[in-house]
Amino acid sequence: MSLLITVLAQFITYYSFLLIIRVLLTWFPNINWYNQPFAALSQITDPYLNLFRSIIPPLGGMDFSPMLAIILLQIVGGGLQAI
């Protein structure tokens, strides 16, 4: 059981890192999200981010949903590591 918890906690850490990379890359408007490796990153992160985008729509051109998504992942990851 502890192996499963360790693997899940590590997965959450890596996924959070991918989300941060995705958010940082949105600052560069010349990135074509249909070319690799950006398309793969988008396919991995967008389903999770879309859950939060449906809750918090972009306000004034700013998308705050990744912040909520990363915070939730950190809470879950911290809870798993505490176990």
**75, 72, 26, 76: which is closest to 46 by C-alpha?**
26
Q: How far apart are CA 70 and CA 54, in angstroms?
A: 16
Give pLDDT, residue 82.
82
Domain boundaries, position 39: 2-82
Which segments of the chain have a pLDDT < 50?
Answer: none
Tokens of 50: 């879309």
Q: What is the mean pLDDT of the chain?
A: 90
Sequence-distant (≥ 6) Cβ neighbours of residue 42 within 8 angstroms: 22, 33
Alpha-carbon torsion angle 76, 18, 4, 73, nearest 10: 0
pTM: 0.86
Total number of domains in the chain: 1
Give pLDDT, residue 42.
93
